[in-house]
Each structure stands twice: as structure tokens, then as C-alpha cells.
Chain A
Amino acid sequence: MDTSKYKALYLQETNEHISGIEKGLLTLEKDPAEGGAIDNLFRHYHSIKGMSASMGYDPLTKLAHAQEDLLDKVRSKKIALSPPIISTLLECLDSLKELVKKVEEDSPLDTDINPFLKMLASISEVRIENAAGAATAPRVSPQRETAVINVKEAFTANELKISNVMKVDGKVFDDLLTTVGDLFMVLSAFKPMTHASRSIEFKDGVHMLGKAINTIHKNILSARMLPIGDLTQSLPRIVRDICKASGKEVDLKIEGTEISLDRSILENLGSPLVHIIRNAVDHGIEPISERNSAGKLSVGTIKVKASIKRDRAIVEISDDGRGIDIEKIKKKAIAKGLSGDRVLAMSDKEAIKLICLPGLSTAETVTDTSGRGVGMDIVKELVEGIGGSLEIESTLGKGTKIILELPRTTSITKALVVSIGYEQFLVPISKIEKVKEVKTSDISGGVLELNGTEIPIISLGKTLGLEDSFDRDTYTILIVENTRPALGDKKLLGLKVDDFGDEIDAYIKPLVPPMSRLWGVSGIALMGDGKPVFLLDIAQIVSKSPHNNTLAAK
């Protein structure tokens, strides 16, 4: 028996057809005159029906057949395409999806398709009355139906074969990655020894070991990568449903679907992404009348754009809606008990981040979809939970852009070892623009001059609340992007540390409570000698300091 081979093909192709149907229906909903779309849709249903019949999946066959019939009538102009038809087909599609999922899980196909068949039939009834005299579609004779022979009979006892594609539990890859992380740490214990050793064999051996570990690592990581399109393909439908509920019109644009991310990151990105898009439709995009009087197009635009910046993925979600009213946010923050002086002293860039505090959504009305509860606080938490960060840009009346910066792979991060006094820390390479060794005399008044630009310097040690570093002749300055508004419009910022060491591939373990509440650190790694070292959260360190840190003038 070799039905598994056909089943894998069946699932693969049926799922492709289902995506095609979803796309087609949404296209037709926007542009009913799109003639090619109807032909394509018809073919998708036809194919699902044919394959399902061959596999003996009765409910799927019947449901696809009924939809194919309906499409055939639309195609041959016996009925006109109408919004209720598209809505019905979308509802039926959900049922098709459910059934296919059951096939995949080997569950009984017990979904009750009768309500859907009735819906499809009643839409067809309307048509027959309208198009009086139209020839009725050919009916299947009952004899033919009983002559259906299950495909299983035809495909039996051929040869025993297995598929090249394996289905593996994601957890297996998680374990593999942990093991590789351990290997990296063992390797980094060997590396210093090779510097001291005179044995060429030993040096070569460690080098080869390192290469092999890197190869395994790369292979495991690439096996875990999935294109972001896998996640965003359901967005058009979600946006459509939210729009239907709120009476708004939105054109969703998705770019960069080929950008790939680790499956666990992608998996956890789904929920914040949907939250952000719901917020954009519900609170960002204005009702049509409001848009018209603001001189905007009735149809709002939401754009999801994925791109790669160094080893991080950037996902931007922008809308052309009403934007965030910063004054209103400030007022609300004060009303919620934040110190008025503090709030009023905030720059716009700082104040906009207030919407990430719990309970600070400014929506005037509570809607079905996002309510008032789905706040940006939850979104921020979810994004940070996968090692990402979130930035908000907004112009009142013009729109809002939310920028997510995400790691593309989990756990293993390229990091630089830096030392402050006796302490060692890891700094993600992705955050460092440049590393510069300077003499004490080069820093005057807390400012380093580099190629004609002044870079403000802060002491990382003081920021972290450590004892001030030893007096030294030279320091190392980590030049990072300045996201700290208090330091003016300078684009770069220097973090002063005592010294820097190797660049390593660190296997970062997430912090567990209570350590996860520590400020300024985002993970921990074991060094080759077994010593635990914190990974610094540079974004947090740069954006605010709990120690009211002054410039490290020395």
C-alpha cells in the first residue's frame, strides 16, 4: 500500500489550490470584472474535487463540486457574481480548510457540510429564477456516482517507497540547536588552548572541528527557516474580515514575503502582527466620511514590508490613517497617574512610546475586533519575547508606522566580549557600528571627535550601576546608534568600556524570572570556561538610564 505518497501530494496541491481560491475570491471582491480570476477559481475547485474523489474523501469532493458548479454558472454567465456569492464561497472555503486539516491529521472527516451545500444551493436557486429558461447544468447520473472506485484499490501493492520530504517535529530542531550551542561553547574552551599550544595537529584539529560545527549549525538553521510569506498569506483574509466588521475599506500591500525567519520566531510573530494590523484598521484608518473630508482616498492603505538589515529582519507595518495624537496620549498618561512634569518634559519620540504602557489606548470607541484591551503593551511584550524590538513613528493626520526589528535565527548570536573592571559582558555585533580604541585624552567633556563629528560618550559601567572602571590610559568605545532623545540629534553614541576581546558565536539562553526583570540585559551565555556572562540589551541601555547617568566626563 502506498497511499501515503498520494496523500502528501494531495495535501500539498490541495493547499496550494486553497491559497489560490482565497486570493482569487479576494481579488474578485475588489474587482468583480476580473475575468481571468473566475476561470482560475473554477480550475482550483475542479482540481480539489478531482483529487478528493480519487482519494475517496467524500465530503471534500461534494463541497468542492458544489462550489465548482456555482463557479461554472458564474463563468457561463448564468448568474451574476455578487458580494453574497463571494461571502458564501469564503465561508465554504473555511469548511474546506477544516476538512483538509482533518485529512492531514488523519481525523475522521466529520464536518457537517450540509449547511454549506444548502447555502450554495439556495444561491443557485435565486439564479434559476432570475435567469429563466437558462439550460440547467448537466447532472451526474446516479449510476456514475456508484461507479466511483476508490483510488486505494488502484494504487495498491505497487512497490514500497518513502517520500524524500520528511515531516519532523519542530522540537527535534530545538534540541539539535541546543546541542550545537553546547558544541560552540566546548569549542570556545579549546580555542585559547590552541593559541598557547605548539602542536600543529591540535591547532588543525580544533580548526576542523570548528568548521564542522559551523556547517552543522548552518544546516540546522536553514532547515528551520521559513519565508515570512507563509505567515502573511492569511493577512488579506483577516483584513477583509476586520474591514467588513468596521465598514472601512483597506488596500493591504505586502512586500518582502521571501524574507525568511526561524520558524519559532515566525510562529510567535503572528499574534503581534495581527494585533498591530487590527489596531491599524480599527484605530488608524478613519471611517470613509472622515477620510473624504480630510481629502484622503476612501480606501485606506496598510503596508507590511519585510526586509533585512545586517543579521536582523525588519518588519514595518504602516498605515495612512489618522496617526497618533501625542497630546492626547500625554493627557491620558497624566490622568492615569504618571508624573505631569515628567510627561510634559518628554519629547514626541519619547511620548509616543507611552502607548506601550498598559491601559493607554486612545481609541474613542470600543470595537468588536480590537476592543480597547489589545493594547500596544501586549504587542511590545510579545515582540520582545522573541528577542525583537518595537519602534513607533507617527504623524498626526498622516499615519502611523510600526517598525519591528527581529532576530532571524534563534539562540545563536554573534557577540563581542567586552570587559568593565573585572566583569565581562556580551554585546550583540548587530548593535555595534564601530569599535574604537581611544586614549583618555581623546575624550573631552564627554564627547569624542571622530572624523569631524562629535559623538557623546556614556560610561557603560556607570549605566549598569557598576563601580567606576579603573583608571586607564586607553579605553574602548563601542559606537552604537543613538536612540536616546535626551542626547539631542546626534546619530551616534559611544559606550565606554575598558577593553574588548573576541567576537564569539554565543548560544544565548533566555532569562527566567526573577532574572528576566533585570534591567539592561536580555540573555545569558556560558563561556568556554563555564562562566556565565550576560548579553547586554543595548537598545534599552541607550534609550533610557535608571541611574540618571550623566556624561562620563573624565
Chain B
Amino acid sequence: MESKRVLIADDAAFFRVALRDILKKGGYEVVGEATNGAEALEQAAALRPDIVILDVVMPVKNGLEAAREISQLKLPLKIVMCTSLGYEPIVEEAIKSGACAYIIKPLSETKVLNTLGSLGIVKSQP
């Protein structure tokens, strides 16, 4: 079975490594890692992932701007926002920006895998 391809964007290597480990365990393939919103946009267009996980607070271009611009690309992908505690009001804005789910940090395996599992992406052949 083809594993689902995920792009991670977070300015902290700490969270990128943590996410990568969790995703691997859940049978996902991490196809790219971006450290800011601009890189995320570039890699989303180039790598065509199934899922993009975007941190909200990032340098150069923040996650919300990146989400908006990625969804304008009209690619068949789902955007998941990853935000810290205390940023619930942002969720609404994130949905408007094109996100379809969110994960609240601190990350945990169950949280991440349950959220991604609920996206309803059929594990299909490309």
C-alpha cells in the first residue's frame, strides 16, 4: 500500500524531528521539511504532498499566509495547522485560510495520528 506523503513546515527542528518520528510510526512518508512559510509554499508546489502540516508562527512567511497561498494553488492536498496553546482564535482564521484540521501543541502521537486519520484521505495509488 502506498503511504501518504506529508510535507512538514516548522521553524523549530525540535518539532520537525518529533513530527517526523510520529509520522513514520503512523506509516506516513515525510517528503519534505520546510523551515518557514515561503519554503513550505515552494515545496508544496514542487513535491505535491497529500498533506501539509503548517506551524502558525514562523519567520519570513507565517503559517496562515502560507496556508492561504498553498490553497490558491488548487492542489489535491489537505492543510493541517499546528499551533501552540492559547491560539484557539486563530483556528477560525486558519479554516478561512484553507486549513481543514488543526493540532494543538504539545504534540503527541495520538493527537497527530488521530487528526491525520480523520482527514479521509483514501490510501490510493497515485
Using Cβ atoms and an 8 Å threshold, which residues of chain B touch A153? Answer: 108-109
Given contacts A43-B59, A140-B86, A149-B111, contact A50 B21 (CB under 8 A): no
Quick one: which of A1-27 are within 8 Å of B by CB? 5-6, 9-10, 12-13
Of the candidates A42, A65, A154, A158, the one having the most CB atoms from chain B within 10 angstroms of its own CB is A154
User: Is A149 a contact of B108 with CB atoms below 8 Å?
Assistant: yes
User: Is A47 a contact of B18 with CB atoms below 8 Å?
Assistant: no
Interface size on A, residues (CB 8 A): 31
* Bound: A5/B21 CA distance, A: 11
Given contacts A43-B57, A43-B59, A155-B21, contact A148 B106 (CB under 8 A): yes
Interface string of B80-95 (1 = CB under 8 A from A): 0000111111000000
Task: Please choose the segment from B7-15, B39-47, B67-75, B114-122 that sits at the chain A interface, where 4 or more of its residues have CB less than 8 A away.
Answer: B7-15
B106 contact from A42, A139, A140, A149, Cβ within 8 A: A149
User: Is B18 a contact of A155 with CB atoms below 8 Å?
Assistant: yes
User: Is A49 a contact of B88 with CB atoms below 8 Å?
Assistant: no
B12 contact from A13, A138, A155, Cβ within 8 A: A13
* Bound: A65/B15 CA distance, A: 18
User: Is A144 a contact of B17 with CB atoms below 8 Å?
Assistant: no
Given contacts A53-B85, A65-B86, A155-B21, contact A6 B106 (CB under 8 A): no
Using Cβ atoms and an 8 Å threshold, which residues of chain A touch B106? Answer: 50, 53-54, 56, 148-151
Interface string of B1-40 (1 = CB under 8 A from A): 0000000000111110110011001000000000000000
Given contacts A140-B86, A151-B18, A154-B18, contact A50 B109 (CB under 8 A): no
User: Is A144 a contact of B104 with CB atoms below 8 Å?
Assistant: yes
A140 contact from B11, B15, B85, B112, Cβ within 8 A: B85
A51 contact from B15, B87, B88, Cβ within 8 A: B15
A46 within 8 A of B: yes
B101 within 8 A of A: no
* Bound: A56/B18 CA distance, A: 14
* Bound: A150/B109 CA distance, A: 11
Using Cβ atoms and an 8 Å threshold, which residues of chain B touch A13? Answer: 12-14
B105 within 8 A of A: yes
The number of chain B residues touching the other chain, given as a range, is 20 to 34
Using Cβ atoms and an 8 Å threshold, which residues of chain B touch A10? Answer: 14
A50 contact from B15, B22, B59, B111, Cβ within 8 A: B15
* Bound: A151/B18 CA distance, A: 9
Using Cβ atoms and an 8 Å threshold, which residues of chain B touch A43? Answer: 11, 57-59
Given contacts A47-B11, A47-B12, A154-B22, contact A54 B107 (CB under 8 A): yes
Nearest CB in chain B: distance from A49 CB, A: 6
User: Is B86 a contact of A151 with CB atoms below 8 Å?
Assistant: no
* Bound: A40/B112 CA distance, A: 28
User: Is A46 a contact of B13 with CB atoms below 8 Å?
Assistant: no
Interface string of A141-175 (1 = CB under 8 A from B): 00011001111011100100000000000000000
A47 nearest CB neighbor, chain B only: B12
* Bound: A155/B110 CA distance, A: 11
User: Is A151 a contact of B12 with CB atoms below 8 Å?
Assistant: no
13 extra interface residue pairs, beta carbon distance < 8 Å, beyond A47-B12, A51-B15, A54-B107: A5-B17, A43-B57, A43-B59, A50-B12, A50-B105, A51-B14, A54-B15, A54-B105, A138-B88, A145-B85, A148-B106, A149-B111, A151-B108
